[in-house]
Structure 1
């Protein structure tokens, strides 16, 4: 698989992204906090056989540029995604969003329906179910365990995985490394201040009007955002499917990459 890496200038910011595969249909994979596009490392090979796959690092995460809190909100991130698609010359895309990326996927489906061929929310933020208490604790840490540090990121990953043996040093380093420098803790804290539930709550009156086909995938044992929220989305969004992934936690694409990829491919096969 040929995996390309590049930076896209978007206004005063630079967005890092990974590009793989080819095909008439394009997939946009969006991660959440505190991860980056490496979240999709084991999923992309399954998808790139028949689709063009774009996996960016959201602004403030991974190798993308940093910015003030007001530039890191989910609506702003959605705007950067439209800018990235414009630069790549991609008119419509299938959006797959995990965690915060799931909220961005909903924003794109509601506000930019002409650009969204379909969307998938995997263990994502929605309604008023976020920000998570753990993420809020980053803002004003009252104890060492809440300080924005590599140890904090590692704990978030471990709690989010069903298969604990998959929390290898290599996996942890993939998500810790972007913040393992002098200003890293401040950068993660800045990102946390950008997250407020009204950013998805204000979408709720519009979700029933979304026309793009949707699938909601949830890990059976998601300890952060239980499967109830996938059920709620399924009850709210027309033309949608809800699937629970057995023996998976918040990070389904790490707990069982083949199963997660299979669900994405089945979603695409249903609508294409």
Structure 2
């Protein structure tokens, strides 16, 4: 019997943060998505992790079913603060983090600012150093051609180009990613999210990354055309106690391309890290 995935919302300052929650394990796993996705990205991952852990998957402010905000509130450091406030409300003092794309940058920032609250972390197909924002995402700010206009079609194209297996982008999954921005204000909200992104947000924390001591795993899809595995290797060489692995048969959205392999890697990491943190 699969654990039930519950949907909740929490008040974070003036914002409302939506999150999915499952499981009742003594240790918590926090799943962080990127742009232009939301917590539905983890829909194949959550049930398996919830068999052993309490799983919390928020929609970052500005994304999914969470409230919208100005770009000043959508930077990665701000998102790390929003997540900290959510965990405070939920009474979660320490957790394992798994971050994808922008969510990996949020995870790195959270770990450097609150190392005592991070049992371990996984970076999967993630931003780091100066490898972001992607030119495709930057194009949303000042579109010079119709294909760069912030729109549902832009989101669909970004998802398709980031997948190795196109058949994995089901109508249900595509709807979950597109629908939050399929409103009259959606294009301006997507543009605002793009304006929040600046690579200095992760470059500035590199010295602190070198001081992290918790277990870390870096996973990159073999065929990731957005963020090549090279960046995962660089990150693993920077973070002590980090292991690096290339995921076969995967592109940027590894958890969609090959969910079984990704879940196996997550569980392998968490089982080892959970033993260390006991």
The partner residue of 1:3 within 2, 5, 30 is: 5
8 Å CA contact 2:44–2:259 kept in 1: the answer is: yes
Aligned residue in 1 for 2:114: 112
8 Å CA contact 2:4–2:47 kept in 1: the answer is: no
Displacement of 1:171 in angstroms is 1.6
The partner residue of 1:223 within 206, 222, 225 is: 225
Answering whether residue 162 of structure 2 is matched by residue 140 of structure 1, we say no
Deviations 1:93-142, CA, capped at 9 Å, x for gaps: 00000000000110011110011000111000000000000000000000
Displacement of 1:206 in angstroms is 1.4
SS class of match (1:95): strand
Displacement of 1:169 in angstroms is 2.1
**Structure 2 runs not aligned, ≥5 long:** none
Displacement of 1:48 in angstroms is 0.5
Displacement of 1:184 in angstroms is 0.3
Displacement of 1:212 in angstroms is 1.4
Distance in 2 (CA, whole Å) between partners of 1:7 and 1:167 is: 27
CA RMSD of aligned residues (A): 0.6
Aligned residue in 1 for 2:91: 89
Distance in 1 (CA, whole Å) between partners of 2:9 and 2:76 is: 20
Q: How does 1:1-272 map to 2 (within 5 A)?
A: 1-271=3-273, 272=275
Deviations 1:142-181, CA, capped at 9 Å, x for gaps: 0000000111000100010011111222221110000011
**Structure 1 runs not aligned, ≥5 long:** none
SS class of match (2:194): helix
Distance in 2 (CA, whole Å) between partners of 1:15 and 1:240 is: 31
Aligned residues: 272
SS class of match (2:131): coil
Displacement of 1:77 in angstroms is 0.3
Normalised by the length of structure 2, the TM-score is 0.97
Structure 1 residue runs of 4 or more that deviate by more than 3 Å after TM superposition = none
8 Å CA contact 1:102–1:122 kept in 2: the answer is: yes
Deviations 1:183-203, CA, capped at 9 Å, x for gaps: 000000000000000000001
Normalised by the length of structure 1, the TM-score is 0.99
